[in-house]
Structure 1
Amino acid sequence: MGETHDSKRPRTNGNHVAVNGSTEDDWFIGSIDQGTTSSRFIIFNRFTDPVASHQIEFENHYPHSGWHDHDPIDLIASVEKCIEKATEEFVSKGYKTSQIKAVGITNQRETTVCWDKNSGDPLCRAVVWPDTRTKELVRDLKSKPDADKLLELCGLPLSTYPSSVKLLWLIRNHDEVRKAYEESRLAFGTIDSWLIYKLNGGKDNNIHVTDTTNASRTMFMNLRTCEYDDELLSFFDIDRSKVDLPKIVPSSHPEAFGALASGPLKGTKIAGCLGDQSSALVGHCGFKPGHAKNTYGTGCFLLYNVGSEPVISKYGLLATVAYDFGEGQKAYALEGSIAVAGSGVKFLMNNLGFVRDSSKVGELAESVPDNGGVVFVTAFSGLFAPYWIDDAKGTLFGITQHTQKGHIARATLEATCFQTRAILEAMEKDSGHKLGGLAVDGGMSNSDITMQTQADISVIKVERPEMRESTALGAAIAAGLATKGCWSSMPELYDLTQNKPGRKIFEPVGNPKKIKLMYNRWERAVEMSRGWVRNPIEEYYTANSP
């Protein structure tokens, strides 16, 4: 199939831009990728290659310890500017805006936006997904009688991450949000809902929707019915008559998301929407049960397709919607997250001064044959799935006079790989499916030594595509599948993406006995890092008392 597709492709230069081969019949899909630190707009051709893009970083606000905010106006402004600039680049290469058939959206999940449904203006800053101001509220909610029923209903445990606790905190603690709630003019949404609302012209058209993947991160949606659940809303003391919740629609739809109301692509349909981690799985064409992807960013997010029925984890994982393309094309996933991945590399660079460029950490790790007995439990903020150890701290074990920077660098990369293996094992236990391979993307996936180490430690095939924009591509795929004359099926897309040149596969080649010894040592180190924080409040005041 790959040969057939390639033979029909327009000739491209090194940036995948069509030259001397573009025709009026060529079509393209735009993708809005709204992340935690930046927004992007990427335009993909029919062969899933990016042909134009623009990225803008915006300010993150940290007004108090544990607080993390975004200005909702900054987010929509950055997205609109990216669309404008990327479209300018697209047109400068000889294309026409009419060739862009649809736009998809992918977004940071759980981040919570509140706005006045009458004016369309935000009532406060957006509360970003890693914000922890809700810790005490979560502790109180866990003591409620029905708290143990939540996981079975929505697939998520109570934590500071979901949008539900963020919204409840704002209603209780932010004057403008509380007043709007009491006066029944409060509109709530995750980032996708806010962007769709504003891109459609705000209150003039009042398109207020979300897709199932984003809705599954709120704790308001029943995972099986994919509708708002009265029992869940009641648990969080949310009165539906006082707050406008976005309508839940499939991730791929020709009409539900409206169209761009202004700008160079005015009138272009928004036809797809996926939360970022689901979008990355779709971008890898992980359409079958057993398909898994890992995004190596600041942290890591693993998604594992478990098929058409949700699997509630018994091993510390989250259950979520992988994608929903309608007409029986819905899939669920198990998800596991690692707090420290790329941020561990930055720690070596910024805090310890090992290297000046993060890309050199791999070279430093390769300067030694192994970790020299060093194990680094990178629990800078505790350990996430499947351990969920809040009282662990980052700990280096096995240091001797023989230890060099290279050993610590290698141990830092291995820490991410060990945690990935632990999550993959939990996923296999929960799902009953043997993992066939692991698709990878994100910054750390560029490191050959890290990916080979991942293959060796997990005893699994690791697949890295040449084109790493998997998250943005997923949203483009969702939009294209809903648009007449574009991609017609998931099998077509699978063939198109899997047979591209430049795809690299890392097969496990490690010594099984040595790998087993390394992993046992890692698990022992995890246990030894547990309980470092006994009473953080008492420790803080003791350390800072005169």
Structure 2
Amino acid sequence: MGKQSYVLAIDQGTTSTRAIVFDGDGRVVGVGNREHKQHYPRAGWIEHDPREIMDNLDRVVRDAMRRLRIRTSDLAAVGIANQRETVVVWDRRTGRPIHRAIVWQDTRTQPEVDALADGDPDRFRAKTGLTLSSYFAGPKAAWILDHVRGARAKAERGDLAFGTMDSWLVWNLTGGPRGGVHVTDVTNASRTLLMNLTTCDWDPELCELVGVPMAMLPTIVSSSEVIGEATRRSSLAGVPIAGILGDQQAAAFGQTCFEPGSAKNTYGTGSFLLMNTGVVPVPSQHGLLTTVLYQLGNKPPVFALEGPVADAGSVVQWLRDEIGMISKSADVDRLASTVRNTGGAYIVPAFSGLYAPRWRPDARGTIVGLTRFVTKAHLARAALECTAFSTWEVVNAMNNDVEASGLGTGLRGLRVDGGMVGNDSLMQLQSDLLNVPVVRPEVPETTALGAAYAAGLAVDMWQGLDELAEHWRIEKRWDPQISDEERARRLRVWNKAVEHSIDWVDTDTVTDDLLADEMYR
């Protein structure tokens, strides 16, 4: 490999920013981590401070390199994985954001999305592969332009820049107002409702309908190519930035899901299941998304079916921060392990509505099955188990889409990663519900690893996908242990609980109260 023996990956996530250094065998050798503040100005609104995240980035990079005692000259490249639909709009001249970043879970754009749908939430699906939802990035950018004085006129003149978090990081790392490179990769672009999935380029008609001037859009690049070098004002000065992937696509790349039919699920703030469908996009008929999985240089893009679930680890954070039932996230595993089941209680964590496959923004979080027998230990276990049930719904829809497309007979096994996969009982439940093997890899940092792989391929640190696949090894495997009858019973009860989260809502009242279109202050 020569002198430059390492790749540094930036994993810019929903709750923290991490820098992880990998060696040529794909092993973690240095880590820096720092959380950033979550801002909740109104119910349903979630924001981040982009400047805080940029400051944290510089610190975590220094931490990771200091602990390994390496210099920038030892780094072959930098790769970036990012929270995908979180939006930043900034002034090209000053480099300052004109509004806090609007996070992917934020639901404030639901009225605008409803107006775009005009009664048909699949109106944009043929072009974008996506259903119309407040989840996606384009309407968030339009909301900022409409609620910050003078912003739309500046955007139309080209004075403002729009991007997901990858764009914001790359622009700053490569010089910011002094010539920063304004790009996004195709995986992130495919999450905006502005990119045509056939051409993998911005679509003028979609941009006009959503209300995002094309003058503010970044250039779309592949997931693995040299984009530019970090400047002297960065802690990564002189290192090429050579890979960008949305975080979930990065996790699939790190899990080496290179063959059609291979699939992974990441259990992070939310839960995200992606299945590789090859070089032809597969339209979903069952509530899933068709998205770009990755693109290597000038090669054709590879596509995926995806089922996003808004709330997974965020349920544990809710128990910790809002309810005060635990003092730290790790306590939930210990508490849940003291009971054998949930005592009949089910949590449906529709904090931001329900994502795939139901797409019900009006749904709200629900706890059902409460009796005096239920303790906080039962609720802790229910908070973990709801993620496994939500994943089953996604897999059921995915199996139906895959069979209809002729790709195969559905999911045959699931590779898992993310903060929650350290809970063995949860992974066993997941295997039981899906009725397929669930496998956890030796290297748990799959999101950062995928970004590192994409960057390393671009600078020839690794020679191809086959070499990367050789690095992937199983750390633990779970196989189904329950009967078909027990599986059907548990899923039937779960479905009833989900229906409660939808049926009780007074939609007009909730929409008026939580999602009113007011000037942000």
Deviates more, 1:278-287 or 1:320-329: 320-329
Residue in structure 2 matching 1:83, options 61, 67, 90: 61
1:139 maps to 2:114: yes
What's the offset of the Cα at 1:480? 0.4
**TM-score of the aligned structures, taking structure 1 as reference length:** 0.86
1:518 maps to 2:513: no
Residues 498-524 of structure 1, C-alpha deviation per residue, up to 9 Å, x if partnerless? 26xxx1111112222211211122223
Q: Which residue of 2 aligns with 1:384?
A: 355
Distance of aligned partners of 1:537 and 1:370 in 2 relative to their CA distance in 1, 3 Å threshold: closer
CA contact (8 A) 2:271 2:309 kept: yes
Residue in structure 2 matching 1:128, options 59, 80, 103: 103
5 Å matches for 1:94-493? 95-143=70-118, 148-240=122-214, 243-254=215-226, 256-328=227-299, 330-348=301-319, 355-400=326-371, 402-432=373-403, 433=408, 434-484=410-460, 486-493=461-468
What's the offset of the Cα at 1:172? 1.9
Residues 291-323 of structure 1, C-alpha deviation per residue, up to 9 Å, x if partnerless? 211111222111121111112211111111111
What's the offset of the Cα at 1:264? 4.3
What's the offset of the Cα at 1:347? 4.4
CA distance in 2: counterparts of 1:252 and 1:266, whole angstroms: 20
5 Å matches for 1:38-77? 38-77=16-55
CA distance in 2: counterparts of 1:57 and 1:370, whole angstroms: 32
CA contact (8 A) 1:253 1:272 kept: yes
CA distance in 2: counterparts of 1:124 and 1:399, whole angstroms: 42
CA contact (8 A) 1:257 1:272 kept: no
What's the offset of the Cα at 1:57? 2.2
Deviates more, 1:37-46 or 1:135-144: 135-144
What SS does the aligned partner of 2:225 have? Answer: coil
What's the offset of the Cα at 1:269? 0.5
CA contact (8 A) 1:362 1:449 kept: no
What's the offset of the Cα at 1:61? 2.9
Q: Which residue of 2 aligns with 1:4?
A: none
What SS does the aligned partner of 1:530 have? Answer: helix
CA contact (8 A) 1:362 1:450 kept: no
Aligned partner of 2:424: which letter? D
CA distance in 2: counterparts of 1:47 and 1:538, whole angstroms: 51
Distance of aligned partners of 1:260 and 1:53 in 2 relative to their CA distance in 1, 3 Å threshold: farther
How many positions carry a matched residue from both structures? 508
Residues 16-53 of structure 1, C-alpha deviation per residue, up to 9 Å, x if partnerless? xxxxxxx9757100111112222121111111111112
Deviates more, 1:527-536 or 1:43-52: 527-536
What SS does the aligned partner of 1:130 have? Answer: coil
Aligned partner of 1:470: which letter? T
What's the offset of the Cα at 1:493? 0.7
Identity rate of aligned residues, in percent? 43
Distance of aligned partners of 1:60 and 1:436 in 2 relative to their CA distance in 1, 3 Å threshold: same
What's the offset of the Cα at 1:184? 3.4
What SS does the aligned partner of 1:253 have? Answer: strand
Could you list the runs of 5+ residues in structure 2 that have no partner in the other structure? 514-521
CA distance in 1: counterparts of 2:375 and 2:37, whole angstroms: 37
Deviates more, 1:165-174 or 1:111-120: 111-120
CA contact (8 A) 1:383 1:390 kept: yes
Aligned partner of 1:165: which letter? P
CA distance in 1: counterparts of 2:477 and 2:355, whole angstroms: 28
Residue in structure 2 matching 1:31, options 1, 6, 9: 9
CA distance in 2: counterparts of 1:353 and 1:147, whole angstroms: 37
Could you list the runs of 5+ residues in structure 1 that have no partner in the other structure? 1-22, 542-546
CA distance in 2: counterparts of 1:539 and 1:184, whole angstroms: 34
What SS does the aligned partner of 1:66 have? Answer: coil
What's the RMSD between the two structures over aligned residues?
Answer: 2.6
CA distance in 2: counterparts of 1:398 and 1:116, whole angstroms: 51
CA contact (8 A) 2:337 2:381 kept: yes
Taking CA–CA contacts closer than 8 Å with sequence separation of 6 or more, which of the two structures ends up with the larger relative contact order?
Answer: 2
Distance of aligned partners of 1:86 and 1:371 in 2 relative to their CA distance in 1, 3 Å threshold: closer
